[in-house]
Amino acid sequence: MFEDYNTIPLLGEAFPEMEVQTTHGKMSFPKDLKGKWTVLFSHPADFTPVCTTEFVAFNKRYNKFKKLNCQLIGLSIDQVFSHIKWIQWIKENLNETIKFPVIADDRGLVAEQLGMVQDAKGTNTVRAVFIIDPKGLIRTILYYPQEVGRNVDEILRTVNALQISDANGVACPENYPDNELIGNDVIIPPASDEKTANRRKKQKDCFDWWFCHKKLK
């Protein structure tokens, strides 16, 4: 059993308070997160190929995230000057103007609080993703190793599914809205009493009393 370990914020907890320097100026968390969904993602380093592909992918989907009232924020432990030069390089060489801010966590204070630097994987940040809701609560945490780039469409899908779940009091199946079993249906909460459970067994949209699905209107 490990006796000495660092804790990081967990699902459902409030995002920790911090002041950060970004390519768009200073930001205050969680104040600047409230009222919007947020995808905060770290990358190992500027001027690296996998990270560049990710930044381009996030940027190409910027308007899709914006449509979901979701802001994107990048982060690495590089200095802000490095971020600025890298963003300029992406614009000049790949014709992509990065629209979202990038945190310059050059002292590693944010990365340490969020478990983004993991000793067994070196001194750079791993590819962490934190999805934060408009109340400033952490709803999803993902970690990818430095050697594997993320699927940005999956992150976009997760934000969309969380919003649908919150708005309708339902759960979203695997790969929603394209599930192999129930298509674009959502899953309703299981029955909490015997009468409802018995009734649901006879419904066509129920596999059993604990597994019922429906289409959203």
DSSP code for 202: T
Q: Is the peptide bond before 177 cis (omega within 30 degrees of 0)?
A: yes
Burial 148-183 (b: 16+ CB within 10 A, else e): ebbebeebbbbbbbbbbbeeeebebbeebbebeebe
**From the candidates 51, 70, 172, 206, which is the catalytic residue?**
51
Alpha carbon 191 to chain centroid, angstroms: 31
* Collapsed DSSP state (helix, strand, coil) of residue 62: helix
51 catalytic per annotation: yes
Q: Cα–Cα distance between 171 and 175 in angstroms, integer?
A: 12
Positions annotated as catalytic residues are: 51
